[in-house]
């Protein structure tokens, strides 16, 4: 015991005599430990199923295509519902488009990334809800102006996370908050850092002027992944054949 106490006394003596070196050594070790923890966390997010992207290996995103001449092609927003009708027996088919938009809240203006999505978006991406819940297919069909926001956005807009029923305005529509999701890592979602989501039927495609939706498809667990890919490929091919376009794509 005396020997152990002697070691600690020696350590304390050296720290007192070499304060700068001791600070550098201890601080450097702490920073290294923090850096290793962060790297391990990033690796976990990137290589594992991590909320809200719990089914990454079964999700396919259709967004930009190219024809055999290299020209960029997209599925027109006015035809996307007809396109989805050719896709059968999938666990969910989500529409997604985003824009950076100025939001008016209690006469204050905020800039936020808004995602315009359909009800299946909430089936494909497993966000955790603190309050309320996602909007439904019926909300989209009846053009109900509802919104889901993140915990951070709720605090920024309303100084509280429990803000169900609160309202904000953009592009001449007033939206009511019906759901608040937990904050999440933007490394674990392909939704381009959106912090607000509203029904896709309100999308005016401004200011970015991209008149198309990305289509996210979750393949069923009960079906071979190659069969699902073939079905999706056939639907894409059929769509562009109707436009006399030959696409550069394989299953």
Mean pLDDT by 10-residue block, N- to C-terminus, for the chain (251 residues)? 61 64 66 63 55 80 90 91 85 92 95 95 92 97 97 96 97 97 76 87 90 92 89 91 87 70
Neighbours of 178 (CB within 10 A): 19
Nearest to 63 by CA among 50, 77, 51: 77
C-alpha span between 185 and 52 (Å, rounded): 9
**Tokens in use for 96?**
């997604």
Name the pTM for this structure. 0.78
Q: In the numeric block, which tokens belong to residue 168?
A: 């904000």
Convert the pLDDT of each residue in 89-118 to its tens digit.
Answer: 898 999 999 999 999 999 999 999 999 999
Dihedral over Cα of 83, 84, 90, 95: its sign: positive
**In terms of DSSP bridges, do strands 173-181 and 92-105 run parallel, antiparallel, or are they unpaired?**
unpaired
């Amino acid at each position: 015991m005396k020997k152990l106490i002697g070691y600690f006394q020696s350590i304390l003596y050296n720290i007192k005599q070499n304060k700068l070196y001791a600070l550098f050594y201890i601080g450097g070790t702490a920073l290294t430990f923090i850096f290793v923890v962060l790297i391990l966390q990033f690796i976990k997010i990137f290589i594992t199923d991590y909320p809200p992207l719990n089914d990454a290996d079964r999700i396919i995103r259709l967004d930009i295509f190219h024809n055999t001449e290299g020209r960029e092609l997209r599925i027109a927003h006015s035809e996307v519902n007809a396109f989805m009708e050719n896709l059968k027996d999938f666990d969910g088919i989500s529409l997604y488009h985003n824009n950076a938009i100025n939001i008016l809240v209690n006469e204050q203006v905020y800039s936020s990334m808004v995602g315009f999505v359909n009800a299946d978006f909430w089936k494909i991406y497993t966000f955790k809800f603190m309050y309320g819940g996602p909007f439904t297919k019926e909300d989209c069909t009846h053009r109900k102006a509802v919104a889901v926001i993140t915990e951070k956005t709720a605090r920024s807009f309303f100084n509280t996370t429990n803000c169900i029923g609160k309202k904000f305005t953009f592009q001449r529509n007033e939206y009511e908050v019906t759901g608040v999701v937990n904050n999440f890592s933007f490394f674990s979602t392909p939704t381009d850092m959106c912090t607000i989501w509203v029904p896709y039927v309100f999308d005016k495609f401004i200011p970015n002027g991209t008149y198309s939706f990305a289509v996210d498809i979750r393949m069923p667990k009960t079906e071979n992944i190659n069969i699902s890919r073939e079905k999706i490929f056939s639907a894409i091919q059929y769509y562009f054949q109707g436009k006399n376009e030959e696409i550069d794509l394989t299953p």
